[in-house]
């Protein structure tokens, strides 16, 4: 991609965010979650002549409870499973949540394989934007989720980040992105690496770090994908920085987050770059000498929704329960559960951010970020091919 196009794309979509300050992550709520408020007062059932919107919401709840089940193909991991199944099931005990935690490649192949065989088991999916755009949409396996949004607090764009709804597809209707979370550039051993020496992404190229860096294997799906996409389109980094990183640092790659955190803690590789910092933060909380960089770098930062994109599958067997579920997930109640349980930032601006900023996952006020999951980036096929080819060539030649 020409540099001028990368510059234009970056600055058209570069985002300066305003968000509140925060502290450590809170524990998952233990009490039963509230149901989202009905469109009008939910203090008493509507009477004849009541608010039609309120009547419609209560009718949806009854229809969903009559179906009695909603089937979710969602993200792997216990935190995602708890967020996407537990709170909704407690709010609506008459609806069984059947949840399957699947990785991006697995969820795409499962859905397309089932539908080719005329099997329509699931109602709702949650997965990454690559799976949506390169697998599910071409297979015509999904239907517009925008059409089922009905809660006023969900429809009101003023309550959402940057005053709009975010979608991961070009048509802006299939993949609602609700978790734009800031990614952390580096993780490090606190006894070996001085975080003040890390002010730019380019600082990882310093010869002092050669042979001391671990990163997520870019040949496999994972956190390096968003990082490389950001670097590729950044006018001050670009494809050459990607090549320099894999060539000059003698980086070791892995797809085991716990192993990466252990290596950093044991000083085998004291600097981690473009990795999942979940395990590093857990190790930090356990008192190990590791931490993640919780501030943007000189070139700015990027946000990604990861598995936080929700949509509807074609011919879902429980359409009312699916509609209720989607609106609940996107309600303030549902998004508070996202932040409390998963620890990802919600796109809702009426959800407090004070427990995420110190973790480095809620964007800092006044800093520049790019939402790297947007289709303008993901569907740039030339860029996607090149940013994958460069590290593969370097790593495979070793």
Neighbours of 157 (CB within 10 A): 11
Distance of CA 226 to CAs 94, 101, 214, 387, Å? 39, 21, 17, 10
Looking at residue 341, its pLDDT comes to 95
Regarding beta strands 252-254 and 213-216, do their DSSP bridges make them parallel or antiparallel, or are they unpaired?
parallel
CA 211 to chain centre: 30
Instruction: Please check the confidence at residue 115 and state whether its pLDDT lies above 70.
Output: yes
33 pLDDT tier (thresholds 50, 70, 90): low
354 pLDDT tier (thresholds 50, 70, 90): confident
Contact 324, 60 (CB under 8 A): yes
- Kindly report which listed range (1-15, 60-74, 168-182, 329-343) carries the lowest average pLDDT score: 1-15
Torsion sign over Cα 113, 117, 121, 122: positive
Instruction: Please check the confidence at residue 10 and state whether its pLDDT lies above 50.
Output: no
For residue 185, the 8-state DSSP code is S
Average pLDDT over residues 374-382: 96
Share above pLDDT 90 across residues of the chain, in percent, rounded to a whole number: 76
What is the rounded radius of gyration, in angstroms, for the C-alpha atoms of the chain?
A: 22
For the segment 191-223, what is each residue's pLDDT rounded down to a tens digit?
A: 999 999 999 999 999 999 999 999 999 998 888
The full set of domains in the chain, from first to last, is 27-181+305-365 (3.40.190.10), 185-293+379-396 (3.40.190.10)
Instruction: Please check the confidence at residue 9 and state whether its pLDDT lies above 60.
Output: no
**142 vs 113: CA distance, rounded Å:** 13
- In the chain, DSSP finds a helix count (H) and a strand count (E) of 14, 15
Instruction: Please check the confidence at residue 29 and state whether its pLDDT lies above 80.
Output: no
Looking at residue 40, its pLDDT comes to 42
Average pLDDT over residues 312-337: 98
Q: Residue 98: phi, psi to the nearest 5?
A: -100, 110
Residue scoring higher pLDDT (365 or 317):
317
For the segment 295-309, what is each residue's pLDDT rounded down to a tens digit?
A: 889 999 999 998 999
Instruction: Please check the confidence at residue 366 and state whether its pLDDT lies above 70.
Output: yes
Report DSSP letters for 269-299, one per residue.
S-EEES---HHHHHHHHTT-SEEE--S-BTT
Average pLDDT over residues 28-40: 51
Strand partners, 185: none
Mean pLDDT of the chain: 88
For the segment 77-105, what is each residue's pLDDT rounded down to a tens digit?
A: 899 999 999 999 999 999 999 999 998 78
Looking at residue 365, its pLDDT comes to 78
Looking at residue 34, its pLDDT comes to 66
- Give the burial class of 285: count Cβ atoms within 10 A of its Cβ; 0-12 exposed, 13-18 middle, 19 or more buried: exposed
**141 vs 346: CA distance, rounded Å:** 27
For the segment 131-156, what is each residue's pLDDT rounded down to a tens digit?
A: 999 999 999 999 999 999 999 999 99
Looking at residue 39, its pLDDT comes to 56
The torsion defined by the Cα of 383, 388, 389 and 395, in degrees rounded to 10, comes to 150
């Amino acid at each position: 991609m020409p540099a001028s196009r990368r510059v234009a794309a970056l600055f058209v979509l570069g985002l300066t965010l305003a968000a509140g300050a925060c502290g450590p992550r809170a524990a998952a709520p233990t009490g039963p979650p509230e149901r989202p408020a009905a469109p009008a007062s939910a203090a008493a059932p509507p009477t004849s002549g009541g608010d039609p919107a309120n009547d419609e919401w209560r009718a949806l709840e009854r229809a969903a409870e009559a179906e009695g089940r909603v089937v979710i193909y969602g993200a792997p991991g216990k935190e995602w499973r708890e967020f996407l199944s537990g709170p909704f099931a407690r709010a609506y005990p008459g609806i069984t949540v059947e949840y399957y935690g699947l990785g991006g490649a697995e969820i795409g192949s499962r859905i397309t394989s089932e539908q080719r065989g005329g099997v329509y088991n699931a109602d709702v999916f949650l997965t990454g934007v690559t799976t949506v755009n390169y697998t599910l949409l071409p297979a015509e396996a999904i239907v517009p989720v925008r059409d089922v949004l009905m809660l006023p607090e969900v429809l009101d764009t003023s309550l959402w980040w940057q005053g709009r709804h975010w979608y991961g597809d070009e048509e802006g209707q299939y993949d609602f992105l609700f978790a734009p979370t800031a990614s952390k550039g580096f993780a490090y051993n606190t006894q070996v690496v001085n975080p003040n020496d890390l002010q730019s992404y380019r600082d990882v190229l310093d010869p002092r770090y050669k042979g001391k860096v671990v990163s997520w294997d870019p040949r496999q799906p994972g956190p390096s994908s968003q990082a490389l996409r950001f670097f590729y389109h950044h006018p001050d980094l670009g494809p050459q920085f990607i090549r320099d990183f894999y060539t000059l640092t003698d980086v070791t790659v892995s797809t085991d987050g716990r192993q990466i955190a252990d290596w950093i803690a044991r000083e085998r590789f004291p600097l981690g770059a473009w990795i999942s910092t979940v395990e590093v933060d857990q190790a930090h909380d356990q008192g190990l000498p590791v931490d993640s960089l919780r501030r943007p770098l000189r070139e700015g930062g990027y946000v990604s929704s990861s598995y936080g994109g929700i949509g509807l599958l074609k011919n879902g067997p429980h359409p009312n329960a699916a509609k209720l579920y989607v609106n609940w997930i996107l309600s303030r109640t549902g998004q508070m559960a996202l932040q409390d349980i998963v620890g990802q930032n919600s796109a809702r601006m009426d959800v407090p951010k004070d427990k995420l900023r110190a973790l480095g996952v809620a964007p800092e006020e006044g800093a520049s970020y790019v939402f790297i999951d947007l289709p303008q980036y993901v569907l740039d096929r030339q860029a996607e091919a090149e940013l994958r080819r460069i590290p593969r060539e370097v790593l495979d030649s070793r």
